[in-house]
């Protein structure tokens, strides 16, 4: 039969055990604090590279969208997709958009006879619409080569826009868009640049030398305007792209 320890020995043993426990606990706390400082230091180092990290992330997502949706087969340039998604992410992060699932790209590096407007659901990986879109009369004939933000220039304006509310005007159902880039497209409202339908663009003109042109509006085939406007209205991102070096270098949305 085992003998039990006297009460005073039990008390001493308990005290010693408590001392070791507190010591171990303090060491654990110290270790956790050291780990926290290391994490903070890591974040401090990472913060200096945030811009490059965001760019890398945008490129990865852009490439995934581009490849999985076979956008190359639809004619969209990989560069247009990358720049569009990079700016889209910037606008989402800034809370500029009411809807963060729809991205519309007008790729003006393509011929006007190509279906160069792409409405993409970036959350569900779907191309919702691929259709024709007109450029401004003074931007070029078949290919758009010059762009302006000036009133009465009759040229298209590059850059990022956010869609507003539909209305019915001289072109029928139309959609207001707000140009977000000072010096590039912020005169959109003054110039009455809107999304609207037109009979001068569509399949009926594919065999002509060029599609009909607008006064600067991204006009689409009349038969598709209602469907398009309902998809992109009230707070989605619209991007008009062209590989104009000055724009790509100066855009605060792309380089912010």
pLDDT category at 9 given cuts 50, 70, 90 is: very low
pLDDT digits (tens, 9 = 90+) for 106-133: 999 999 999 999 999 999 999 999 999 9
Say if residue 32 is in the same domain as residue 68: no
Q: Summarize the confidence of residues 223-233 as an average pLDDT.
A: 98
Dist. CA 187–CA 137, nearest whole Å: 17
pLDDT category at 246 given cuts 50, 70, 90 is: very high
Say if residue 123 is in the same domain as residue 16: no
Name the nearest CA neighbour of 214 among 191, 232, 233: 191
Burial status of residue 17 (CB atoms within 10 A of its CB: 0-12, 13-18, 19 or more): exposed
Per the CB < 8 A criterion, the answer to whether 91 and 180 are in contact is: yes
pLDDT digits (tens, 9 = 90+) for 43-70: 334 444 566 677 788 999 999 999 999 9
Per the CB < 8 A criterion, the answer to whether 117 and 130 are in contact is: yes
Q: Given the structure tokens 């009909």, which residue do they identify?
A: 212
Q: Summarize the confidence of residues 188-209 as an average pLDDT.
A: 96
Q: Summarize the confidence of residues 179-205 as an average pLDDT.
A: 97
pLDDT of 23 above 50: no
E-assigned strand segments in the chain: 102-107, 117-121, 126-131, 159-169, 172-179, 194-198, 220-221, 237-241
Q: Summarize the confidence of residues 9-23 as an average pLDDT.
A: 43
Say if residue 152 is in the same domain as residue 234: yes
Supply the range of the domain harboring residue 13. Answer: 9-42
For residue 66, give both structure tokens.
């581009």
Say if residue 94 is in the same domain as residue 26: no
| Mean pLDDT, rounded, of the chain | 86
For residue 105, being part of any structural domain is answered with: yes
For residue 3, being part of any structural domain is answered with: no
What is the reported pLDDT for 11?
A: 45
Say if residue 38 is in the same domain as residue 59: no
Please give the model's pTM, rounded to 2 decimal places: 0.80
Per the CB < 8 A criterion, the answer to whether 214 and 136 are in contact is: yes
pLDDT of 10 above 60: no
């Amino acid at each position: 039969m085992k003998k039990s320890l006297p009460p005073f020995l039990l008390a001493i043993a308990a005290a010693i055990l408590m001392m070791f426990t507190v010591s171990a606990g303090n060491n654990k706390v110290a270790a956790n604090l050291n780990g926290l400082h290391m994490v903070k230091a890591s974040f401090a180092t990472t913060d200096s590279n945030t811009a490059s990290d965001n760019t890398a992330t945008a490129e990865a997502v852009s490439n995934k969208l581009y490849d999985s949706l076979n956008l190359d087969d639809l004619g969209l340039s990989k560069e247009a997709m990358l720049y569009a998604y990079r700016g889209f992410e910037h606008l989402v992060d800034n809370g500029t958009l009411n809807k963060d699932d729809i991205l519309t790209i007008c790729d003006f590096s393509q011929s006007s006879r190509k279906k160069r407007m792409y409405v993409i659901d970036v959350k569900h990986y779907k191309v919702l619409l691929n259709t024709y879109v007109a450029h401004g009369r003074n931007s070029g004939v078949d290919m758009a080569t010059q762009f302006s933000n000036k009133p009465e220039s009759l040229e298209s304006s590059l850059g990022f826009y956010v869609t507003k509310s539909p209305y019915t005007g001289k072109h029928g159902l139309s959609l207001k868009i707000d140009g977000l880039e000072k010096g590039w497209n912020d005169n959109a409202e003054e110039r009455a640049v809107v999304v609207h339908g037109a009979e001068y663009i569509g399949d009926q003109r594919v065999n002509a030398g060029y599609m009909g042109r607008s006064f600067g509006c991204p006009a689409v085939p009349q038969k598709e305007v209602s469907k398009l406007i309902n998809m992109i209205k009230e707070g989605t991102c619209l991007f008009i792209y062209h590989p104009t070096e000055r724009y790509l270098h100066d855009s605060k949305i792309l380089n912010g």
